[in-house]
A = this chain, B = another copy of it.
Amino acid sequence: MSAERRLEGEAGSAQERLRDHLSARNLRLTPERLLVLEGVLTREGHFDAEELLEHLRRSNKSVSRATVYRTLDHLAEAGLVKKHHFQEGHALFEHVHGRDHHDHMVCDRCGRVIEFVNDKIEALQEEVCREHDFRELRHVHQIFGICSACQAVEKRAPNASPHHSGHA
């Protein structure tokens, strides 16, 4: 129940934020855009646009592919979601409204995404920017490799990677 209420609260202020963002650009908060926002807020973790589209269709809240993509871009501009390019040819989104900043480790085998925060790294990063008189607007810090679960699998079956399709 408290999770529900929290979600409602988030949805409320996320909606406000989206409305503000749109109206500042003479754009409208339409029913379709609200459906997309709602869909986004109920996703957990990282999801892609097609997955969201499919989810909306299954929930009888169908919105066209074009609208989903367009709205996701608005949401990203409004700072409600982040768009990641972990693998090539496949953007992943996560909603970040009301969430703290974090970076990512991504497993090359299974695609699992692990979030991490390290204040010292953040601080050093700022230092690097100061040294170069560079004004940071955002950063991407991703570590790619093999997660512990996949390492375990490899140990069990040493002639590994049935799906080692040789990319990234």
A140 touches B137 (CB 8 A): no
| Contact mask for chain A residues 118-149; partner B; CB cutoff 8 A; 1 contact, 0 none | 10110011001100111111111111111110
User: Of A9-17, A38-46, A83-91, which stretch is located at the interface?
Assistant: A83-91
A168 contact from B83, B120, B121, B143, Cβ within 8 A: B83
| A94 interface residue (CB < 8 Å to B) | no
Chain A interface residue count, Cβ-Cβ cutoff 8 angstroms: 41
| A32 interface residue (CB < 8 Å to B) | no
| A73 interface residue (CB < 8 Å to B) | yes
| A67 interface residue (CB < 8 Å to B) | no
CA distance A18 to B137 in the complex (A): 38
A137 contact from B108, B116, B124, B166, Cβ within 8 A: B108
A134 contact from B114, B135, B168, Cβ within 8 A: B114
| A167 interface residue (CB < 8 Å to B) | yes
A166 contact from B77, B125, B142, Cβ within 8 A: B77
Measured CB to CB, the nearest residue on chain B to A147 is B134
| Interfacial chain B residues near A143, Cβ < 8 Å | 125, 128-129, 134, 136, 138-139
Residues of A within 8 A of B (CB): 73, 77, 83, 85, 87-89, 91, 105, 107-108, 114, 116, 118, 120-121, 124-125, 128-129, 132-148, 151, 166-168
